Structure 1
Amino acid sequence: MDKQLLAKIQKCFALAGSSNEYEAAAALAKAKALMDENGISFEMLQMADIEEATSRASRTQRPPVWETYLCAAVQRAFGVVSFINEGGDRTFVGRGVSAEIASYAFAVLFRQLKRARRDYIAAKLSRCKTANKRRRADVYCEAWTLAVYSKIARLAPQLPQDAVIDQYLAERHPQLVGVDSRSAAKTGRAAENDYWNGLASGSQVELHRGVDAEMPPLAIA
């Protein structure tokens, strides 16, 4: 779809809000004429505002639960939705720049968590066998992401589901299906300690509410 044409139509709609009734009527008529001439519906105009942005993730079709929690936190913060693409990465979908901002936020948090996981393994799990080390590190990561989600939930209200984004996904990605996450077993005193350590570490991640109307709702330090 021609972005210049869409921008022209959107500008006409903006002018249609003018306090000058003649200018408003002319702008509205112009917008309607451009849409009719080019076969553009209101639904198409709305969906033109939807963007996608992708961020590297675990690259698996059955991600760990901690990645799902992390993704849910980013979706809550920026009012976007996401899906796992064919390469196993996360694609965020939202209005305007929100998808790009969400993708960046996910990348920042993902790197922070991977670094925290690596440091925790070195400090607390270095003597564990490989399978047990991975399981316990996953418990730590799940708690870390839950702490981050809780902090975001206190800062950002739960936004209603966006019907335009839903329509966009149905038309552009009709093959999407739900997937189950891979959860770590939280049994035993050691896993309990890993969980509480993860909560403590995740609670130290700094999140800030944007103060400017043009800024995203949250910034990640």
Structure 2
Amino acid sequence: MTGNDREKLLRRIRKLMALGSRNNNAHEAARALRLAQVLMQRHNLSEDDVTLSAVCETECRQVYTDAASIPSWLNALATVVCMATGCRCWFGWYCTVTPEGRQRDRRSVHFYGLNERPDVALYAFTVLARQLKDATKEHMHTAYRLKRLKLQTKRNRADQFREGWVMGVWKVLDAFAPSDKEAGVLRNWLSRRCGKNELAEISVREAGHCRGDAKARLSGWLAGQRAELNQGLHGAQSAALAPIAGGNDE
């Protein structure tokens, strides 16, 4: 059986199991479950095989930083996206080749979850990360263009703005937490996915404190509430992503 055929079979079994558990007609529900069991026995598939096959993974390479220590704002943004879509994530690396022929390690973030949720998470993270980048650039240009500041102070204020921006985004998003059963499925999937290569704890770098950091964070918080996510990715967002709307400016 090819990989494509196996995926089609697993998808059919999942549909039958869903029909068996949700159908109000007892006869049709029992028939669907019996057919699912026959297919599983015929192809030597366990219930775990069927359940874990519903977990998907996506990778985002538009992270805008290649730092070994993950900036707090980036970790927070990935967390917010996961909490809004019912996904989980981890940070990884991928390798690119520069025009000069040198290899360069770049940052990526992987989202995993049930069915279409990782696609939704990828969409949300990509859109929000781009908006955050643009908002930070605009803030730094308008707020500090005519001021003489140390480079480190500018960097600290930019990070404070970013952290505030993510907090503002979270204020207008609703949490979408997976059930305990789904959370268990995700843990089992990740264990199989990684095998003996367990994920290490990431090092997170908090934004540095400086003069004017509170004002920068407040500006980010207000700007983050004006972030926009358009619904409609493959028709899946209405089910897996809570609506986001502009917040109040006060």
* Structure 2 counterpart of 1:149, from 146, 170, 175: 170
Q: Give the aligned partner of residue 64 of structure 1.
A: 71
Shift of 1:95: 0.6
Deviation track 1:133-164 (CA, whole Å, cap 9, x = no partner) reads 11110011111111112222xx3354445110
| Letter matched to residue 195 of structure 1 | R
| Letter matched to residue 169 of structure 1 | L
Q: Does the aligned pair in 2 maintain the 1:208–1:218 contact within 8 Å?
A: no
Q: Give the aligned partner of residue 203 of structure 2.
A: 180
Taking structure 1 as reference, are residues 26 and 148 closer, same or farther at Cα in structure 2, changes over 3 Å only? Answer: closer
Question: Separation in 1 of the partners of 2:81 and 2:15?
Answer: 31
| Identical aligned residues as a percent | 27
Q: Does the aligned pair in 1 maintain the 2:86–2:176 contact within 8 Å?
A: no
Q: Give the aligned partner of residue 35 of structure 1.
A: 40
Question: Separation in 2 of the partners of 1:53 and 1:63?
Answer: 19
- 1:3 is aligned to 2:14: no
Q: Give the aligned partner of residue 214 of structure 2.
A: 192
* Runs of 5+ consecutive residues of structure 2 not aligned to the other structure: 95-106, 246-250
Question: Separation in 2 of the partners of 1:60 and 1:111?
Answer: 18
Q: How does 1:16-165 map onto structure 2 within 5 Å? A: 16=20, 19=25, 21=27, 23-55=28-60, 56-57=62-63, 58-87=65-94, 88-126=107-145, 127-152=148-173, 155-160=174-179, 162-165=183-186
Question: Separation in 2 of the partners of 1:104 and 1:129?
Answer: 36
TM-score, length basis structure 1? 0.86
Q: Does the aligned pair in 2 maintain the 1:145–1:202 contact within 8 Å?
A: yes
Q: Does the aligned pair in 1 maintain the 2:169–2:227 contact within 8 Å?
A: yes
TM-score, length basis structure 2? 0.76
* Runs of 5+ consecutive residues of structure 1 not aligned to the other structure: none
Secondary structure (helix, strand or coil) at the match of 1:5 reads helix
Question: Separation in 2 of the partners of 1:50 and 1:83?
Answer: 15
Shift of 1:65: 0.4
Moved more, 35-44 or 102-111: 35-44
Taking structure 1 as reference, are residues 146 and 49 closer, same or farther at Cα in structure 2, changes over 3 Å only? Answer: same
Q: Does the aligned pair in 2 maintain the 1:15–1:24 contact within 8 Å?
A: yes
Q: Give the aligned partner of residue 98 of structure 2.
A: none
Q: Does the aligned pair in 2 maintain the 1:61–1:84 contact within 8 Å?
A: no
